[in-house]
Amino acid sequence: MKFQTILLVIEVGGTLAFAMSGLLEAIRKRMDIVGVFSIAFVSAFGGGTVRDVLLDRQPLFWVQHQEYVWLVVALALTAPLWLKTFRHRLTENAMEFADACGLGLFAISGASIATAAGMPPLVAVLMGVITAVFGGVTRDVLCNQIPKVYHDHRPYTLCAVVGCVVLLGAEAMGLSTELSMVAGICTATGSRLLAVIFAWKLPAWPAQQREG
């Protein structure tokens, strides 16, 4: 029971963080209210929707958990209030933290759902990554820019991959599902936080100097 509650809190935090990132990006692009709402929705629900479609899961997770949709609606409606109040460095750190939590939980939930559906490890890792990353990719495509996760040279997708591998490894070693999930989430979220704090860079693509 308590474990479920913790998961719920993190999942809600992740959804809100992802919705928030879409909202801020849409505002930056000077979209109208409908655009801001739409991008917030897509950022929050894009990854999980693609995962559910690829795994043929019905109903979709946001159909099953409508409260998430209402949550994003409430977030968008109240955004002007607290955007005015909290626009300083503290908030950006809080955003990065929530986003890292979302990354970890979305990746592990995606991989777990795929494993539960009988998918092999490789596919489970891919589904974890898709769940964690696709919302942000779609957000950037709709905002007409190259997806940030593909060219900001900061580890993000990699953290999701490592977390999913830890999850599957722990399960293969006989750990309980709960413990494996916690280990996976901590690895993904933790490595992302370390990457942000210490400004880790992905190695440049070897051929990159010779192109362009």
CB of 6 to a copy of itself, least distance (A): 27
CB atoms near residue 189 (< 10 Å): 25
Nearest C-alpha neighbor of 43 from the set 147, 120, 124, 127: 147
In whole angstroms, what separates CA 179 from the centre of its chain?
21
Evaluate the CA torsion angle 61, 183, 149, 77 in order and state its sign. positive
Question: Measured between alpha carbons, how far is 129 from 108 in angstroms, rounded to an integer?
Answer: 9
The nearer residue to a copy of itself, 95 or 119, going by C-beta atoms, is: 119
Nearest C-alpha neighbor of 151 from the set 201, 210, 197: 201
Q: Restricting to residues 131-150, which ones interact with a copy of itself according to CB under 8 A? A: 137, 141-147, 149-150
Q: Restricting to residues 104-133, which ones interact with a copy of itself according to CB under 8 A? A: 119-120, 122-123, 126
Site string for a copy of itself, 163-182 (x = CB under 8 A): --------------------
Choose, by CB under 8 A, the member of 6, 8, 53, 74 that binds a copy of itself: 53
Choose, by CB under 8 A, the member of 9, 116, 152, 177 that binds a copy of itself: 152
The nearer residue to a copy of itself, 16 or 142, going by C-beta atoms, is: 142
The answer to whether residue 203 forms part of the interface with a copy of itself (CB under 8 A) is: yes
Question: What are the start-end ranges of the H helices in 87-203?
Answer: 89-116, 121-142, 148-151, 157-172, 177-197
Residues 6+ apart with CB under 8 A from 132: 47, 102, 103, 106, 107, 110, 157, 160, 188
The answer to whether residue 63 forms part of the interface with a copy of itself (CB under 8 A) is: yes
Binding residues for a copy of itself, rule: CB under 8 A, are 26-36, 38-39, 49, 53-54, 56, 58-60, 62-63, 66, 69-70, 79-80, 83-84, 119-120, 122-123, 126, 137, 141-147, 149-153, 155-158, 202-208, 210-212
